[in-house]
Amino acid sequence: MMSKEDKGNQAVNSSVGLVTNAKVKDEEQPKLPWMVSSAMFLAPLCWYGPIGSTRSVLIPQLFSQLDPVHKVWAVGILATVASITGAVANLLFGAFSDVTRTRFGKRKPYIVLGTVAIALSLIVIANVKSIMAIIFIWIIAAAAENAIAAAIYPQISDRVAPKWRGTVSTFYGVGFTIAQQGFALLAAQFLGNVKMGIYFMAGCTVVLAVIHELLIQEKGNLDDPKVPFNKDTLKKYFFFPTHDSRDFYLALTGKFFMVVGSTIVTTFLLFLFTDYIGQGTAAAGKSISIFSTIMLIIGVIFALIGGPLADKLKRVKAPVVIATFALGFAALFPLFVQKPWAMFVYAVIAAFGNGLYNSVDGALNMDVLPSSDTAGKDLGLINLANTLGQMLGAMVASAIVASFGYGAIFIFAIAMEVVGGIAIAMIKRIR
């Protein structure tokens, strides 16, 4: 007799290939789930937008007001603490959400409690005058941020059939692009009143999370089989997957190298315009504004196009491969031409790659998960590859510049993107 859990993980031939983790089959969802799609558009705006912009824009300004001499050191320590806390929390909360059984569902408790923790942490930070205290409180905020991230993204796996995952991932990708770029611009408006800015971000995360939960309409899961606490379940829910996981690890590897390659370019964006190209500070500031605007506009356009196009073509792997190689191709221009226009060309091509990648990569990740039952934990591993890629990319960029100069950054970026693209191309099960 096949258990309920086994039935939920039968392999099915979907429009994009053989999917083994579909809880909702294509024939069970003939129309695009608009409510879920809208909720997933808001998902990154709930957590990444408010707390990410606070961390990157408002906190540095706050540190500069509290201790101008040690502000750089303080920002570096906070970033390190946030990365380490996030890596651990994402894995743990993802795994815990997989095995949670409540009348509210398995993802909602972590999203709601995480939102409350973020809002309270930000309010306290806005009123603290000690940098060390802020860093300590940020550990709570970072853990809460990743509790939300670990629970909110697997909702696509829980609620969306494979044939719609590309489109729904597009909603998430567009939301993420807006959260990343738009909230940073919004936070910059509060540099003259940091306390009010942090209050505003705390309010945003609560309001947007409430709207997300109203749209997603997650139901209770008390009827799902309880997960017993034994050696087998510990291995399944809290350790690296070992069964039917080849394509999963290839997707993880591809994301890691893609993130490393793109991070080593963006880490020293200001210094690339000043020290590599030779612009003055004022000119470099204008160039960075143009660069960022290009990345935002073109990124959103291709994030909107990518998912529906992937669904129509019934391909999710190919767009991700193209996007990854595009990021490597973009680096050729500033490698050979030390002019501002070369960086703008990089921005155009990289924005195309990032937009396409953000809109379709999520669907690819969903389709290669070893099991829908461990979606939270396994997506946490993919997020860990993203976090480690960012950390390593920043460290490698520093070492490359110190040893070989700024030009070598682009050579290394090309190599990383090629390796990442090849890893994704090697995925067999999904087209």
pLDDT (0 to 100) of residue 190: 84
Contact by Cβ (8 Å): 389, 419? no
| CA geometry: angle 250, 256, 258, nearest 5 deg | 100
- Identify the pLDDT of residue 77: 80
pLDDT of 5: 44
Which residues in the chain come in under a pLDDT of 70? 1-23, 72, 236-237, 267, 372, 394
Annotate 90-115 with b (16+ C-beta within 10 A) or e (fewer). bbbbbbbbbbbeeebbbbbbbbbebb
Q: What pLDDT, on a 0 to 100 scale, did the predictor assign at position 12?
A: 53
Q: What is the pTM of this model?
A: 0.75
- Strand partners of residue 17: 14, 430
Q: Quick: pLDDT tens for 174-233.
A: 888 888 777 877 887 887 898 999 999 999 999 999 999 999 988 888 887 787 777 777
Helix, strand, coil distribution of the chain in percent, nearest 5: 75, 0, 20
What's the pLDDT score for residue 273?
A: 87
> What pLDDT sits at residue 178?
84
Domains identified in the chain and CATH numbers: 35-235 (1.20.1250.20), 240-425 (1.20.1250.20)
- 403-421 pLDDT tens trace: 898 899 999 999 999 999 9
